Amino acid sequence: MYYGEIKHNDIANGIGVRVTLFVSGCRNNCKNCFQPETWSFSYGKEFTKETEDYILSLLSQTQIKGLTLLGGEPFEPENQRDLLLFLLRVRKELPNKTIWAFSGFTLEELRGDSRGHTEVTEELLTLLDVLVDGRYIDELRDISLRFRGSSNQRLIDMPETLKCGNIVLWDK
């Protein structure tokens, strides 16, 4: 897996000050995507153990509330296995940090038969606190929305959704 950028003090992509990992690779090709360079699966740098260690050192700072995954597309099949291992490590070493992920796939697509579903998708979803789902649709762009770019996208409370079996929107 490759990544395009790591932001240390991000306040735009989730609650509180966050560390944001922009993974590489996306086949959604949304019109007016704000990071089309991340569509390439080989954009940026290779995600290594040293990268993980660096992100964990950033996350361990007290002012950091959590980790956010963006892209590219974290749920492209090529990215899921590496992200699963990394998120398992984050949960083990820093269990009080929150994890958000942005995906162009809807939760229904990730849990169904779409190209975003792999043998590790369900476990990956259990590690998230919030999933911002749905492709960015330029015609539905709304700059007044919190933590999303177009009105079709949802902020999903993943622990509650998995507990009750129905989608529970995050509204904190």
**Residue 159 domain flag:** yes
The whole-angstrom distance between residue 86's C-alpha and the CA centroid of its chain comes to 12
Say which residue, 122 or 172, is predicted with more confidence.
122
pLDDT tens per residue, range 123-157: 999 999 999 999 999 999 999 999 999 999 999 99
**Residue 172 domain flag:** no
Total domains in the chain come to 1
**Residue 104 domain flag:** yes
CATH of the domain at 158: 3.20.20.70
**Residue 171 domain flag:** no
- Other Cβ atoms closer than 10 A to 130: 24
Picking from 116, 113, 138, the residue whose alpha carbon sits closest to that of residue 125 is: 116
| CB contact at 8 A, 6 and 19 | yes
pLDDT tens per residue, range 47-80: 999 999 999 999 999 999 999 999 999 999 999 9
Relative orientation angle of helices 77-93 and 49-59, to the nearest 10 degrees: 50
- Name the DSSP letter for residue 34: S
pTM equals 0.95
**Residue 108 domain flag:** yes
**Full residue range of the structural domain in which residue 30 is found:** 2-164
